[in-house]
Amino acid sequence: MIERAVFVAQKVLVVVGYWAGKLTFVGRRRPQISWVIGPREIAGVVHGIASRVPGSYSLAMAAHPFYSHDYDLSWTPTGRRRGAVRALICGPIILGWLANRAKGFVYVGGSGYLYDQLDGRSFEFAFLKRHGIKIACYWCGSDIRSTRLMHELEAEMRLPNISTYIEYIHPSFGTTRHEQLQKNRAAVADRYADIMFSFPTAQRSYLTRWTEPAYYFVDDDDFSSDDSKFDDLSRIVVVHSSSSPVIKGTQLVRSAVAALRAEGYDFEYVELIGVTNSQVLTELLRAHIALNHFYGFTTGVFALEAMAARCAVVSSTDALIEKTLPPGANDALMVTKHHEVYNHLKELLDDPARIRPLAQKGHDWAMRYTSESRAGLLVGSVLDSVLDGTYDSAIRATLPIGVLWGDER
């Protein structure tokens, strides 16, 4: 009952924000925005898109625990309750206000500017469409991924995935309510979105329409040109970082490290959990091997940052499973199933000469497909086509994957 009352009040605030914005620009030229990108930051995606899309407006309605990018609108950290109240009141006003100026809204993740647990963002999407505004949905993982469908994928493949253990860590992900929310989100997006970005296998969902690959955005300045750290491999540095340790396989990494040390292998192991992104980047610059996740099928942001820093990446990323990855993904890293972590890390420690060439391949691949400048041009181009009316998902769906990632036809 309280949820519905709040939602009704927010709908009123959207209208208030819209007309307040309209009256503000009476008699004056209204500044135009190509795309509003938000409302919450996920792994640097909002920053990455906004930095390469001309005329865009970025916002983060909640402070990110690991990233410290600048946005056109962001909120400083506050108490949890105070921040929630502010989001409930300001979110809908911001939506209405910006709708006066924007040609399109890019929704990063599953959150909206209103409380969306009741309608899956149907009200705000419909509001934007009524005002001729384009909508892009940029799915980042658990925001659209169905736990039930991922369990089905596990049974089909006989291979654990990122949702295998999620209910043990977050019980709500295994509830009927959560599954219904994912169905609602997918149905609303299918109905209203002009374009969507996702990884269809790694994020198996109830979406029925074509989705573009989810482009990555690694800051160009994070790509290192110095590989002198490989000149001395007398004590190899191995780094692992995870935002969700259990569901991404940190326990597998710890087991492999302990077993190898028990066998007498001498290497430095650095585990980074709950630290800032700047700390991660600093450690990667001196690391030789980066252990990514081992239940996922795409390259995580950590893996790409490791490639940029010239680390040999060991990961369960697999382009034979997630076929929308950029060409050559499996050559850019050491594809490692969950049960192969020990063996593959041991192989690299036994033959250090393999580390530098693998790191170089990963660096070149990440630069080609996931650098902010390159990926930003790709996503900017496709978003431009949505605004000018030339985007055709039916045609895009027939193109070779390399073309979608910027290779020549």
Question: Which tens digits make up the pLDDT trace of 33-42?
Answer: 999 999 999 8
Residue 250: which region, alpha, beta or left (left: phi > 0; alpha: psi -120 to 50)?
alpha
Distance of alpha carbon 193 from alpha carbon 40, whole angstroms = 18
Query: Which H or E run contains 270?
Result: strand 268-272
Distance of alpha carbon 329 from alpha carbon 319, whole angstroms = 6
pLDDT at position 78: 59
Least confidently predicted of 51-55, 64-68, 217-221, 404-408: 64-68
Distance of alpha carbon 308 from alpha carbon 371, whole angstroms = 9
Question: Would you say the pTM of this structure is higher than 0.85?
Answer: yes
Structural contact between residues 110 and 182, judged by C-beta atoms closer than 8 angstroms: no
Structural contact between residues 246 and 174, judged by C-beta atoms closer than 8 angstroms: no
Distance of alpha carbon 139 from alpha carbon 211, whole angstroms = 10
**pLDDT over 80 (residue 64):** no
- Under the banding of pLDDT at 50, 70 and 90, the label for residue 7 is confident
Averaged pLDDT, 98-108: 96
Burial of 75 (C-beta count, 10 Å sphere; 0-12/13-18/19+): middle
**pLDDT over 60 (residue 77):** no
**pLDDT over 90 (residue 44):** no
> How many other C-beta atoms can be found within 10 angstroms of the C-beta atom of residue 225?
6
**pLDDT over 70 (residue 267):** yes
Distance of alpha carbon 388 from alpha carbon 391, whole angstroms = 8
Which amino acid does the sequence have at 103?
K
The encoded tokens of residue 11 equal 């709908």
What DSSP letter does each residue of 91-103 carry, written as one string? HHHHHHHHTTTEE
Q: Classify residue 138 by its DSSP letter.
A: E
- Under the banding of pLDDT at 50, 70 and 90, the label for residue 318 is very high
